[in-house]
């Protein structure tokens, strides 16, 4: 096994195990959130191995660094303890989860056969230059539309917050 | 190649981080003493030798190591034990991408004095800093203490707010130097520029009384992006949560905040990570805004070109390396001094003032800075 392959399997195992740990800790919200962080960081490691450096940095900065910290902030604000949660409705959740799992697994197994031949990525692939050029030439309309969406979300949040104060 | 990386890593850990961080605790005590007209630490002695109080850091370490490591009742034991490590590791590894010297040609492969130079350079430091938030937040939550929890909450809100503005405040620097790699940024600053040169780009002529002065400045970030320098220094100091931004600790309000329930070396880890971050901030600001390892007004070629005819190229390159490293260390120490002086000058802000500063002042100013920088670059270079 080459060193990159070893790293890949390490990160992959870490991602899967911490994702499982998140589900196991569903009543201890902080532990679940920290498991989610480990999953995010492990995925970022895999992105680095795939030469997608910018995506890896954003994965850590946005998902691990901002979104999960906000989760934790809310959890702390409400100061939830594990006994605040009623036992979840087990039957239905488990059934839906199992069905989804079987579906994803079968799709993955099906996809294994049709994997394309490996080609090394072109020079500078996944760097901030390539991503930036792609975003502001080919996908500029989508970038503008999503910025409009975000502005609308900010304005909406402001209105909701203001109404409470007034 | 791995041997070279290993040597550079050990060098940076020993010379910059491990040597400076304990000395900083002494500098902080002595500087605050001078600023408040006290004597400061001078009691720790070995056989009557005090070395101006320089033995205090060693006494502190002995004390911290020999104290009992308490885990409070009802705490989440694993997270309580892990939190200081999560806080300390990012501070130590951030120095991997900060260059402490330039690129030197000794024949064979050029020697670049930076441990790693990935193409996402500065984003690496931002990502590492984002992880450091968890050390504080988890410490506050896992201690099973309401004061700690308040400290952790303050830390989480403060640190994500300032992460956003910290990233935006240096976009101007990315635009001017056209790179994210810190070694390339430092090399781009190894030159000079004429302060009023932009007037000629606009087709204007210098007034004669101005034209008599050369006004040649080193092309440092602080001169090209002065607003960005102030905003970045403010946000990164808030990110390190030292006074005047120490809301998560706030002794007078929430006792000691997130590390209230920590004792012994685990408290020491929080304490040390804060001081190591001071060194990291100093190195980062020196590299982005003060030219890193460059010597003002004397570029690397000029230096080697001047020394080489007398002593030979090899010696000139070696001398250049030593002078560059010294130049970098001088800038780092100046930035450490500045942080200390600010810490002992300004009183702690109120929590709402910190949030207002971030979202109502720094954020609009950073965005305005990006637009103005873009407009000026378009005018001067004629193309983006």
B264 in Cβ contact with B69 (< 8 Å) = yes
- B216-218/B192-194 β-pairing: antiparallel
B177 and A CB contact within 8 Å: no
B239-251 mean pLDDT: 80
Please judge whether A76 and B79 are an interchain contact, meaning their C-beta atoms are less than 8 angstroms apart: no
| Distance to chain A for B137, nearest Cα, Å | 8
Quote the radius of gyration of chain A (alpha carbons, Å).
Answer: 20
Q: ipTM of this model?
A: 0.77
Q: How far is CA B69 from CA B73, B182, B264, in A?
A: 13, 40, 6
Alpha-carbon gap, residue B68 to B228, rounded angstroms: 45
Residues in chain B with CB shorter than 8 Å from the CB of A60 are 127, 130-131
B320 in Cβ contact with B303 (< 8 Å) = yes
| pLDDT over 60 (residue B383) | no
Rounded mean pLDDT of chain A? 83
Quote the radius of gyration of chain B (alpha carbons, Å).
Answer: 23
pLDDT tens track for B250-279: 777 777 778 888 888 888 888 888 888 888
Closest CA to B184 of B103, B285, B289, B290: B103
Alpha-carbon gap, residue A8 to A12, rounded angstroms: 6
Alpha-carbon gap, residue B94 to B24, rounded angstroms: 18
**Hey, is B218 helix, strand or coil?**
strand
Please judge whether B120 and A65 are an interchain contact, meaning their C-beta atoms are less than 8 angstroms apart: no
Residues in chain B with CB shorter than 8 Å from the CB of A56 are 120
Q: What per-residue confidence (pLDDT) applies to A54?
A: 85
Q: What per-residue confidence (pLDDT) applies to A80?
A: 63
Residues in chain A with CB shorter than 8 Å from the CB of B140 are 76
Alpha-carbon gap, residue B339 to B285, rounded angstroms: 11
Residues in chain A with CB shorter than 8 Å from the CB of B124 are 57
Q: What per-residue confidence (pLDDT) applies to B352?
A: 85
Alpha-carbon gap, residue B366 to B364, rounded angstroms: 5
B160 in Cβ contact with A70 (< 8 Å) = yes
B160 and A CB contact within 8 Å: yes
Q: How far is CA B342 from CA A13, B180, B245, B290, in A?
A: 46, 28, 11, 18
Q: What per-residue confidence (pLDDT) applies to A153?
A: 93
* Nearest Cβ partner for B120 among A34, A124, A128: A128
A48-76 mean pLDDT: 84
* Nearest Cβ partner for A61 among B79, B127, B140: B127
* Nearest Cβ partner for A73 among B123, B131, B156: B156
Owner of token pair 């087990």: A90
Q: What per-residue confidence (pLDDT) applies to B380?
A: 74
Closest CA to B91 of B278, B265, B250: B278
Alpha-carbon gap, residue A153 to B352, rounded angstroms: 23
Q: How far is CA B148 from CA A59, B2, B155, B247, in A?
A: 29, 43, 10, 12
Burial class (CB in 10 A: 0-12, 13-18, 19+), B64: middle
Q: Is the dihedral of CA A142, A145, A151, A157 positive or negative?
A: negative
Q: Residue B216 carries which DSSP code? A: E
Write the CB contacts of B369 (distance below 8 Å, at least 6 apart in sequence).
Answer: B169, B171, B172, B225, B227, B228, B231
| Structure-model confidence comparison of residues B205 and B368, the more confident one | B368
Q: What per-residue confidence (pLDDT) applies to B199?
A: 62
Please judge whether A76 and B180 are an interchain contact, meaning their C-beta atoms are less than 8 angstroms apart: no
B258 and A CB contact within 8 Å: no
pLDDT tens track for B17-64: 677 767 788 888 888 888 888 887 777 777 777 777 778 888 888 888
Q: What per-residue confidence (pLDDT) applies to B313?
A: 76
Q: How confident is the model at residue A151 (pLDDT cuts 50, 70, 90)?
A: very high
pTM: predicted TM-score of the whole model, two decimal places: 0.84
Residues in chain B with CB shorter than 8 Å from the CB of A34 are 79, 134, 138
| pLDDT over 60 (residue B384) | no
Q: What percent of chain B has pLDDT over 70?
A: 93
Q: Is the dihedral of CA B149, B151, B154, B157 positive or negative?
A: negative
pLDDT tens track for A89-125: 667 878 888 899 999 999 888 887 777 777 777 776 7
B215-231 mean pLDDT: 82
Domain A1-81 of CATH type 1.20.120.1200: yes
Q: Is the dihedral of CA B271, B342, B292, B128 positive or negative?
A: positive
B236 in Cβ contact with B125 (< 8 Å) = no
Q: How confident is the model at residue B202 (pLDDT cuts 50, 70, 90)?
A: low
Q: How confident is the model at residue B207 (pLDDT cuts 50, 70, 90)?
A: low
| Distance to chain A for B46, nearest Cα, Å | 46
User: Quick one: tokens of B92?
Assistant: 């130590």
* Residue of chain A whose alpha carbon sits nearest to that of B76: A31
Q: What per-residue confidence (pLDDT) applies to B81?
A: 85
Write the CB contacts of A65 (distance below 8 Å, at least 6 apart in sequence).
Answer: B126, B127, B129, B130, B131, B133, B160, B163
Rounded mean pLDDT of chain B? 81
Residue B103: phi, psi to the nearest 5? Answer: -105, 125
Residue from A76, A150, A158 whose CB has the most chain B CBs within 10 Å, to mutate: A76
* Nearest Cβ partner for B126 among A31, A34, A61: A61
| pLDDT over 70 (residue A84) | no
Q: How confident is the model at residue B9 (pLDDT cuts 50, 70, 90)?
A: confident
Please judge whether A69 and B133 are an interchain contact, meaning their C-beta atoms are less than 8 angstroms apart: yes
| pLDDT over 90 (residue B118) | no
Q: What per-residue confidence (pLDDT) applies to A103?
A: 93
């Amino acid at each position: 096994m080459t060193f990159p392959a070893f790293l890949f399997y390490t990160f992959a195992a870490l991602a899967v195990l911490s994702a499982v740990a998140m589900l196991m800790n569903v009543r201890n919200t902080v532990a679940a959130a920290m498991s989610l962080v480990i999953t995010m960081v492990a995925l970022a490691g895999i992105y680095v191995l795939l030469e997608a450096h910018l995506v890896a940095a954003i994965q850590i900065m946005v998902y691990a660094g901002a979104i999960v910290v906000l989760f934790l902030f809310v959890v702390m604000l409400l100061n939830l303890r594990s006994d605040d949660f009623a036992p979840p409705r087990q039957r239905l959740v488990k059934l839906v989860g199992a069905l989804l799992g079987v579906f994803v697994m079968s799709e993955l197994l099906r996809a294994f056969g049709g994997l394309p031949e490996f080609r090394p990525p072109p020079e500078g692939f996944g760097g901030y230059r390539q991503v930036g050029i792609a975003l502001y030439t080919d996908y500029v309309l989508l970038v503008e539309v999503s910025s409009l969406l975000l502005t609308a979300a900010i304005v909406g949040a402001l209105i909701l917050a203001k109404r409470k104060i007034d | 190649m791995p041997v070279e990386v290993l040597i550079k890593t050990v060098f940076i850990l020993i010379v910059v981080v491990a040597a400076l961080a304990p000395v900083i605790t002494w500098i902080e005590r002595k500087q605050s003493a001078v600023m408040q007209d006290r004597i400061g630490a001078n009691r720790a002695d070995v056989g009557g030798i005090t070395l101006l109080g320089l033995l205090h850091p060693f006494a502190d370490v002995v004390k911290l190591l020999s104290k009992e490591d308490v885990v409070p009742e009802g705490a989440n034991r694993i997270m309580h034990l892990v939190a200081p490590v999560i806080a300390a590791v990012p501070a130590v590894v951030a120095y991997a991408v900060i260059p402490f010297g330039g690129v030197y040609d000794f024949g064979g492969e050029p020697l670049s004095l930076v441990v790693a130079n990935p193409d996402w350079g500065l984003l690496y430091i931002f990502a590492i800093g984002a992880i450091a938030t968890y050390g504080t937040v988890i410490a506050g939550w896992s201690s099973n203490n309401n004061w700690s929890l308040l400290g952790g909450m303050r830390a989480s809100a403060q640190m994500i707010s300032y992460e956003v503005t910290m990233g935006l405040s240096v976009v101007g620097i990315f635009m001017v130097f056209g790179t994210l790699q810190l070694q390339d940024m430092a090399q781009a600053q190894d030159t000079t520029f004429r302060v009023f040169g932009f007037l000629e780009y606009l087709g204007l002529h210098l007034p004669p009384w101005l034209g008599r002065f050369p006004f040649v400045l080193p092309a440092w970030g602080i001169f090209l992006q002065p607003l960005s320098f102030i905003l970045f220094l403010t946000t990164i100091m808030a990110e390190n949560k030292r006074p005047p931004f120490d809301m998560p600790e706030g002794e007078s309000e929430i006792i000691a905040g997130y590390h209230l329930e920590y004792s012994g070396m685990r408290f020491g880890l929080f304490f040390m990570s804060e001081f190591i971050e001071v060194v990291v901030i100093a190195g980062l600001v020196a590299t982005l805004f003060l030219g890193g390892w460059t010597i003002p007004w004397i570029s690397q070629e000029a230096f080697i070109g001047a020394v080489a005819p007398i002593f030979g190229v090899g010696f000139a390159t070696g001398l250049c390396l030593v002078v560059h490293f010294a130049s970098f260390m001088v800038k780092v120490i100046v930035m450490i001094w500045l942080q200390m002086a600010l810490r002992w000058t300004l009183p702690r802000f109120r929590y709402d003032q910190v949030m207002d500063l971030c979202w109502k002042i720094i954020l609009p100013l950073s965005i305005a800075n990006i637009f103005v920088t873009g407009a000026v670059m378009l005018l001067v270079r004629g193309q983006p």
